[in-house]
Amino acid sequence: MKLSNRAQVVIATTAVLLSLTACGQQEDATVGQKIDGAINSTEQAAQQAKQDMESTAADIKREGEQAVQSVTTTATDMAITTKVKAALAADDQLSALKIEVDTVGGVVSLTGPAPSAEAAERATTLAKAVEGVTEVQNKLVVG
């Protein structure tokens, strides 16, 4: 959509430049000089349009790359969360606990109840063992 708007602006600008060039010439300017001036103005407008389109294309490419990176990070975080939950569910000491697991950028947060400090520490150990985990924030409440 940006490209078509820019193209419309270039066309409109070119038309205005051509009109102004034709009106602004002195009476003694030849037809050839008027045409040369109009061509020169059009070439400048086309060059600006090309630069604008290249800039827009670069912006679109960068935004696309950022979107892909965001989706990849989100998918990785979801996989880590699933693996940590599976590890906690498979552990005899922790399987019955309602531990909430959240992952953002490889950082796992554990929240909820823990029957003992040892169980809370065990949850941290299991979470750290999952591939892709860069840090574990243990916010489990013992009691």
Residue spans per domain, the chain:
2-69, 71-142
Model confidence at 49, pLDDT cuts 50, 70, 90, reads confident
Assign a CATH topology to domain 71-142: Histidine-containing Protein; Chain: A; (3.30.1340)
Of 52 and 5, the structure prediction assigns the larger pLDDT to: 52
Nearest Cα neighbor of 105 from 85, 79, 130, 77 is 77
Tell me, yes or no, if the pTM score tops 0.75. no
Nearest Cα neighbor of 80 from 136, 119, 118, 139 is 136
Q: How many CB atoms lie within 10 A of CB 39?
A: 12
Q: What residues does 101 pair with on adjacent strands?
A: 110
